[in-house]
Amino acid sequence: MEPLVDILIEEPRWEEIDLPALADRAARAVLADQEISPDDWEISLLGCDDARIAVLNAEFRAKPTPTNVLSWPAEDLAAEDEGERPDPPEPFLPGERDSLGDIAIAFETCAREAAEGGKTMADHVTHLIVHGVLHLLGYDHVREGDATLMESTEVRILEKMGIDDPYLA
């Protein structure tokens, strides 16, 4: 089985929690939930530090601060109507793997958020990768209806993975 997630680890501390295994498991859970074959797709993931993600956040979102996760979808799959499920991706060439897009995740921010939230690093990172993959599939949280759909989808996927609802206080 070919890996679904192609990973570049710039921050060595990601090795301590086996980011490749967490990312592959999370991405496969999202695609299974969305009834999308993992054989047709690949995702690129950058495991970086806060300094690197702050540069990316400044460049792509004009926010020069660290954040936990960023995503860059390969195509715009967002639903036109608020609260509607996004369009599923269509492979460009049958039998060839296409990119769903890219994700970057920052170690220090993730570790701090996990500690502050009383969560394990693995569970928090899994949630953030699920979140990032959903962004690649056209989910978003700008409009209220879309945020409700995205959050409920995350919770459902994480529950199937044995991870508690990350939005409970």
Check whether 127 is labelled as a binding-site residue: no
Is beta strand 98-106 parallel, antiparallel or unpaired with respect to 5-9? Answer: unpaired
- Any idea what the Cα angle at residue 66 is, between residues 140 and 50, rounded to 5°? 120
Distance of CA 1 to the CA centre of its chain: 21
Number of H helices, E strands in the chain: 5, 4
Residues contacting residue 109 through CB under 8 Å, at least 6 positions apart: 50, 53, 66, 67, 68
Q: Residue 46 is inside which H or E element, if any?
A: strand 41-48
Closest CA to 107 of 95, 89, 124: 124
**Pair of tokens at residue 116:** 């502050």
Residues 43 and 64: their CA atoms lie apart, in Å, by 25
Cite the annotated binding site for Zn(2+) by residue number: 131, 135, 141
Cite the annotated binding site by residue number: 131, 135, 141
